[in-house]
Amino acid sequence: MYNFNYHRPLSVDEAVALAGGAPEGRLLAGGQTLIPTLKQRLANPTDLIDLGEIAELKQLSTEADGGTLVVGAMCSHASVAASDMVRAAIPALAHLADGIGDAQVRNLGTIGGSIANNDPAADYPAALVGLGASVRSNHREIAAEEFFTGMFETALEPAEVISSVAFPVPSKAGYAKFANPASRYAIVGVFVSQGGDGVRVAVTGAGPSVFRVPAMEQALASNFSADALEGIAVDAGALNADLHASAEYRAHLVGVMAKRAVAAAG
Amino acid sequence: MPTVSMTVNGSHVTKEVEGRTLLVDFLRQQLSLTGTHVGCDTSQCGACVVHLNGKSVKSCTLLACQAEGAEVTTIEGLASDGELHPMQAAFKEHHALQCGFCTPGMIMSAVDLLQNNASPSETEIREWLEGNFCRCTGYHNIVKAVQAASQGS
Ligand SMILES: Cc1cc2nc3c(=O)[nH]c(=O)nc-3n(C[C@H](O)[C@H](O)[C@H](O)COP(=O)(O)OP(=O)(O)OC[C@H]3O[C@@H](n4cnc5c(N)ncnc54)[C@H](O)[C@@H]3O)c2cc1C
Ligand code: FES
Ligand code: FES
Encode pLDDT of A19-44 as tens digits: 999 999 999 999 999 999 999 999 99
Distance B46 CA to ligand 2 centre (A): 5
% of chain A surpassing 90 pLDDT: 97
Are residues B53 and B95 both part of a single domain? no
Specify whether the CB–CB gap between B70 and B77 falls below 8 A: no
How many domains, in total, are found in chain B?
2
End of a domain among B30, B56, B77? B77
Determine the pLDDT at residue B149: 96
CATH of the domain at B146: 1.10.150.120
End of a domain among B50, B77, B104? B77
Helices (H), chain B: 23-25, 86-93, 103-116, 122-128, 140-152
Q: Chain A: nearest CA to B136, how far in angstroms?
A: 18
Give the integer Cα–Cα distance in Å for A224 and A222: 7
In three-state secondary structure terms, B54 is coil
Contacts 24+ apart (CB under 8 A), B82-89: B85/B111, B86/B149, B86/B152, B86/B153, B87/B111, B87/B114, B87/B145, B87/B146, B87/B149, B89/B149
pLDDT at A75 over 90: yes
Give the integer Cα–Cα distance in Å for B103 and B95: 11
Phi and psi based region of residue A201 (left: phi greater than 0; alpha: psi -120 to 50; beta: remaining): beta
- Which DSSP letter does residue B77 get? G
Give the integer Cα–Cα distance in Å for A139 and A48: 21
C-alpha closest to that of B3 among A265, A6, A255 = A6
Determine the pLDDT at residue B105: 98
Q: What is the average per-residue pLDDT within B1-21? A: 97
Determine the pLDDT at residue B151: 75
* Tens of pLDDT, residues A140-188: 999 999 999 999 999 999 999 999 999 999 999 999 999 998 889 999 9
Chain A positions touching B132 (Cβ under 8 A) are 102
pLDDT at B37 over 50: yes
Distance A190 CA to ligand 2 centre (A): 30
Are residues B73 and B95 both part of a single domain? no
Are residues B103 and B64 both part of a single domain? no
Give the integer Cα–Cα distance in Å for A166 and A169: 9
Q: What is the average per-residue pLDDT within B31-51? A: 97
pLDDT at B141 over 50: yes
- Which DSSP letter does residue B7 get? E
Confidence of residue A192 (pLDDT cuts 50, 70, 90): very high
Q: Is the CB of B39 under 6 A from ligand 2?
A: yes
CB contacts < 8 A, A to B, total: 74
Are residues B54 and B111 both part of a single domain? no
* Tens of pLDDT, residues A48-67: 999 999 999 999 999 999 99
Question: Among the atoms of ligand 2, which is closest to the Cα of residue B37?
Answer: 1
Are residues B139 and B90 both part of a single domain? yes
Determine the pLDDT at residue B12: 98
Cβ–Cβ contact B36 with A under 8 A: no
The answer, yes or no, to whether ipTM is higher than 0.85 is yes
Are residues B16 and B40 both part of a single domain? yes
C-beta atoms surrounding A61 within 10 Å: 12
* Tens of pLDDT, residues B70-119: 999 999 999 999 999 999 999 999 999 999 999 999 999 999 999 999 99
Q: What is the average per-residue pLDDT within A130-143? A: 98
pLDDT at B25 over 80: yes
Confidence of residue B20 (pLDDT cuts 50, 70, 90): very high
Question: Among the atoms of ligand 1, which is closest to the Cα of residue A122?
Answer: 11
End of a domain among B77, B104, B135? B77
For B131, the closest chain A residue by CA position comes to: A102
List the domains of chain A with CATH numbers: 1-53 (3.30.43.10), 54-265 (3.30.465.10)
Are residues B36 and B99 both part of a single domain? no
CATH of the domain at B37: 3.10.20.30
- The residue range of the domain holding B17 is 3-77
Chain B positions touching A1 (Cβ under 8 A) are 20
* Tens of pLDDT, residues A210-236: 999 999 999 999 999 999 999 999 999
pLDDT at B152 over 90: no
Are residues B70 and B119 both part of a single domain? no
Q: Is B19 in Cβ contact with A108 (below 8 Å)?
A: no
Distance A77 CA to ligand 1 centre (A): 10
Angle between helices A124-131 and A91-98 (to 10 degrees): 170
Among the partner-chain residues B18, B58, B66, the one whose CB lies closest to the CB of A50 is: B66
Are residues B122 and B141 both part of a single domain? yes
Q: Is B20 in Cβ contact with A2 (below 8 Å)?
A: yes
Determine the pLDDT at residue B137: 96
pTM of the model: 0.97
Are residues B58 and B97 both part of a single domain? no
pLDDT at B153 over 60: no
Specify whether the CB–CB gap between B33 and B76 falls below 8 A: yes
Specify whether the CB–CB gap between B94 and B145 falls below 8 A: yes
Question: Among the atoms of ligand 3, which is closest to the Cα of residue B99?
Answer: 2
Specify whether the CB–CB gap between B74 and B85 falls below 8 A: no
Are residues B96 and B48 both part of a single domain? no
Confidence of residue B41 (pLDDT cuts 50, 70, 90): very high
The DSSP bridge pattern shows strands A198-204 and A186-195 to be antiparallel
Are residues B55 and B73 both part of a single domain? yes
